[in-house]
Structure 1
Amino acid sequence: MDKLHERARAIRLAIFDVDGVLTDGRLYFMPDGTEFKSFNTLDGHGIKMLMASGVETAIISGRKSPLVERRAANLGIKHLIQGREDKLTALSELRQIIPVEMHEIAHLGDDLPDLPVMRRVGLGMAVASADAFVREHAHGVTQAVGGAGAAREFCELIMRAQGTLEQAQAAYL
């Protein structure tokens, strides 16, 4: 088994960034100042399958958006921290609520503010469209880009390593 799967086997908490990970990273603003984001349904279902397999999930985002609150609620993600550039401090706060060891945490990110967390957790991965420096320092890089299946790939990697993916998929046959 390769090192990525070894790391993924221990994961009990998966953390996702939003812009550039759960979305394609583009920010859309309407003339009246409202914004909208595009989320991928494959990513969403991957997150739901991961949660059903027993892995906790959370979002830590540097920006704050009611759209992210709605998406997290829609997916059943209970732990949402927004508007936090210092993601390492946010992770520390999250660990007060979810008692897990650092090696039991996975993080999927795309930009420099994600790196402090990605470098300290058990499985720090970057999306294919991530900043080159971030990709270079990640434990692994998804084949898919942010907002287009990268989160699903990340979830399935964890589930495959933990032996829960085939059973989750079989439920649909």
Structure 2
Amino acid sequence: MLSFRVKEKAARIRLLALDVDGVLSDGRLYFAEDGQEFKTFDTQDGHGIKMLQGAGIEVAIITGRTTQLVQRRAANLKISHLLQGREDKLVALRELTGELGIALDEVAYVGDDWPDLPAILAAGLGVAVANAHPELRARADHVTTLTGGRGAVREVCDLLLNAQGRYEDALAPYLDTGA
């Protein structure tokens, strides 16, 4: 059950910022002999992102690594705010919010490990995925019940839509059977 404080913070969110490894993916890195890299992404996470975008909430990816896989995933989801190769996630987040005219207290940031901690602490709603490092789970405003790469992002998307009274509107087109 969500606390009133988390619901109140979630109601103000205008930007969802996400780490990749351990958040959008399960955190494992797969390499083939030829050096090709593989990741898995959860389709329900992707759909949740699309629902947020449809509700007018911006989505960004901020990651320390740089890969074409992430660029392709961002393009598939029409995420235009992709910041790769950014080890200092808070600096990247501050730059992005400045460009967008969004205050840090209007940001939800989702992470899983120490490099995400400064952004989680600065964001209006700091979220750790269920399998995040214990230091993040202890300091985040909210911890998901699902793990990174396995529905945690969708859980956060649903939380934001519910807190902002937009969940039923997002669901309605799927309930219309045309009968």
TM-score (norm 1): 0.98
Q: Which runs of 5+ in 2 are unaligned?
A: none
Distance 1:145 1:10 in 2: 24
Specify the alignment match of 2:36 in structure 1. Answer: 34
Hey, what does 1:94 align to over in structure 2?
96
Distance 1:110 1:165 in 2: 26
- How many residues of Structure 1 are paired with residues of Structure 2 in the alignment? 173
Equivalent position of 2:75 in the other structure: 73
* 8 Å contact kept, 2:94–2:104: no
The separation in 1 between residues aligned to 2:56 and 2:94, in whole angstroms, is 21
Measured on the aligned residues, the alpha-carbon RMSD in Å equals 0.8
Q: Judge which range, 163-172 or 145-154, deviates more.
A: 163-172
Distance 1:144 1:95 in 2: 27
- Spell out the pairing of 1:125-140 with structure 2 (5 A cutoff): 125-140=127-142
Q: Distance in 1 between matches of 2:145 and 2:67?
A: 27
TM-score normalised to structure 2 length: 0.95
Q: Distance in 2 between matches of 1:123 and 1:54?
A: 18
Query: After superposition, what is the alpha-carbon deviation per residue over 1:133-161, rounded to whole angstroms, capped at 9, x for unaligned?
Result: 11101001000000000000001101100
The separation in 1 between residues aligned to 2:41 and 2:97, in whole angstroms, is: 27
| Counterparts of 2:99 and 2:72, CA distance in 1 | 21
Specify the alignment match of 1:13 in structure 2.
15
Structure 1: which 5+ runs fail to align? none
The equivalent of 1:165 in structure 2 is 167
- Write the letter of the residue equivalent to 1:124: G
- Percentage of identical aligned residues: 56
The separation in 2 between residues aligned to 1:99 and 1:110, in whole angstroms, is 26
Matched position secondary structure for 2:9: helix
- CA shift, 1:167, in A, is 1.1
CA distance in 1, matches of 2:138, 2:20: 20
Letter in 1 for 2:152: A
- 8 Å contact kept, 2:61–2:82: yes
**Residues 1:59 and 2:61 aligned together:** yes
Alpha-carbon distance in structure 2 between the residues aligned to 1:29 and 1:167: 41
What residue number does 1:84 align with?
86
Shift of 1:96: 2.8
Is it true that 1:50 corresponds to 2:58 in the alignment?
no
SS at match of 1:124: strand
Q: Aligned partners of 1:124, 1:64: CA distance in 2, in Å? A: 23
Alignment match, 2:26: 24
